[in-house]
Structures are given as C-alpha cells and as structure tokens.
Structure 1
C-alpha cells in the first residue's frame, strides 16, 4: 500500500514538472479580465431585472 502511495506521489511530482505555470503578468491580466466580465454581466443582469420588474408592475397595475 505504501509503495503505491509513493509511486503515485512520484508520478504527481513528475507531472507537475511538465506544467507550464503562468507568469505573474499573465495571472494579473487574466484576473482583471474575469473581474471586468463579472461586473459587466452583473450590471447587464441587474438592468434586465429592473426593466422586467417595472414592466410586470405596469402590466399588473
């Protein structure tokens, strides 16, 4: 059992050496894009919610 665990951990270590990790600049740029897109989606969905709420209130009186 311990031999299999050691083999697994050795394989994990070998695979992690093959990974191309993003640079700090890449990570910052990707994070910025995600935050901006989330904010844009939130504003859009909030606007749609407000418009539909007012439309339903207008229809229902």
Structure 2
C-alpha cells in the first residue's frame, strides 16, 4: 500500500479479469428475483393471516 499508483494499476488489471453477465442473463436473473420476492411475500402473507386467526381464536376462548 506504499504506492497508490501501483495499487490502482493492480485494481484495473484485476477488473479486466471479471466476467460480466450478458444483458439476457441479467434480465433472466432479475425476473427470477422478482418472482421469488412475490412468492415469498405471498407465503408470509398467508402465514401472517393464519397466525392472526389462531391468536384471535385463542384470545376469544375465555369469552
């Protein structure tokens, strides 16, 4: 780290070795992420509704 110029050159050299995804790969991956977020949201919504019903049932038993 004594020579900042050498460090920057090494970083640029390493950056050339990176394999960047194609536009198609990026679009497919983005689509899959969106689908998984929607599925996870629906799952947690369902779990929340079931737990809400269970808690209401348990709290109303004494009445």
TM score, norm. by length of structure 1: 0.91
Structure 1 residue ranges (4+ consecutive) displaced by more than 4 angstroms after TM superposition? none
Q: How far apart in 2 are the matches of 1:4 and 1:38? A: 45
Structure 1 gaps of 5+ residues are: none
Count of aligned positions: 60
Structure 2 gaps of 5+ residues are: none
More relative contact order in 1 or in 2 (CA 8 Å, sep 6+)? 2
The structure whose residues are more often helix, as a share, is 1
TM score, norm. by length of structure 2: 0.88
Q: How far apart in 2 are the matches of 1:46 and 1:8? A: 49
